[in-house]
Amino acid sequence: MSPTAFLAAAAAVAVAVFVAATTVGNEYVYFAGYTVLQYIVLATAWNILGGYTGYVNFGSAGFFAIGAYTTVVIYKTLQLPLLVAIPLCGLTTAILGLGMGYLTLRLRGVFFAIATLAMAIVLHTLIVNWPFVGGARGVYIIRPRDVAFFDGYMQFLFAVMLALAVIAVWIARLVERSRLGRGLAAIRDDELAAECAGVPTLKLKLISTTLSGFLMGVAGAPFPYYVTYVDPNGAFNLAYAVNSIAMPLIGGMTSWAGPLIGAILLGTLQQVATVTISSALSLLIVGVLLVLFVTLAPNGLVGLFAALSQRRRHG
């Protein structure tokens, strides 16, 4: 399928999802659906660096939160509409990703991972100490009263996140099948051998962190309007970091479908568990699933399916 055809197909699926959601007509569907879609963007973004390039980013929550807080800053200063703010949020976190990569990617991969972990904490510290965006106490965001073409603001946010998810998955698939994607895969398999095959590894890794950072910021951009009250503990929630790693790992990391499947399954599971049991327990389930998959099914669900169908063909 060509990229354009894929984009058209994905858009058609998105429209179908949107129509289905409107027929349910329940505000909660938008609310829960938004969260799952947000995880699709986040997991897909993480996978560009983690799955395609082989570098672990533990700081997804930091990127997500900086995306959200960029919206807060824009809200308090320029008051631009959300749709204009989203690319600016992405730009901010793209620069963050580039800087992060530039500082640490010359070192061994584990140092990059450790640095991202520490970076999320430092960004948290910075936001807590910045009164303009509410500091530790947080800040309230007032949603516009109504929005054109949509039946309420929540429906609009749902549609926005749906569009972002389509774009994110489309970009991931585009990267995966491009010259860039093949270079990234070579880096993931063996960085020195890649360099010796003529792959400009540092440049490609920087592109990867920048693109991944961009999409993470985009995922966080509508967040303030979704929750209407942003505080550091909510925006920097460790759940974002865990989910963005767990979803691709459980789904499968080598293709765009993995994080998509992982996000839909885990995201829905968490929504159900949060409603029926508790949010803490639903997070515990994610943690346990992450450890189980990593130790027992290292290639995720996509890998399991592939192994199963291969066995059927041969047996």
Q: Which residues bind other proteins (CB under 8 A)?
A: 50, 54-56, 58, 103-104, 107, 109-111, 113-115, 117-119, 121-122, 124-126, 128-129, 179, 182-183, 185-186, 188-190, 192-202, 238, 241-242, 245-246, 249, 254, 280-281, 283-284, 286-288, 290-291, 294-296, 298
C-beta of 82: minimal distance to other proteins in Å? 31
How would DSSP label each residue in 288-313?
HHHHHHHHH-TTHHHHHHHHHHHHHH
Q: Between 224 and 248, whose beta carbon lies closer to other proteins?
A: 248
* Residues 116 and 58: beta-carbon distance below 8 Å: yes
- CB of 161 or CB of 245, closer to other proteins: 245
Separation between Cα atoms, residue 250 and residue 261, nearest integer Å: 9
Amino acid, single-letter form, for residue 114: I
Toward other proteins, which CB reaches closer, 29 or 185? Answer: 185
As measured in angstroms, the least distance from the Cβ of 106 to other proteins is 9
When the beta carbons of 14 and 289 are compared against other proteins, the nearer one is: 289
Q: Min. distance of Cβ 12 from other proteins in angstroms?
A: 32
Nearest to 212 by CA among 74, 86, 95: 95
- 174: tokens are 């585009």
Q: How far apart are CA 121 and CA 205, in angstroms?
A: 23
Report, in Å, the least distance between residue 244 CB and other proteins. 11
Nearest distance from residue 208's CB to other proteins, in Å? 14
Nearest Cα to 265, choosing from 286, 294, 292?
A: 286
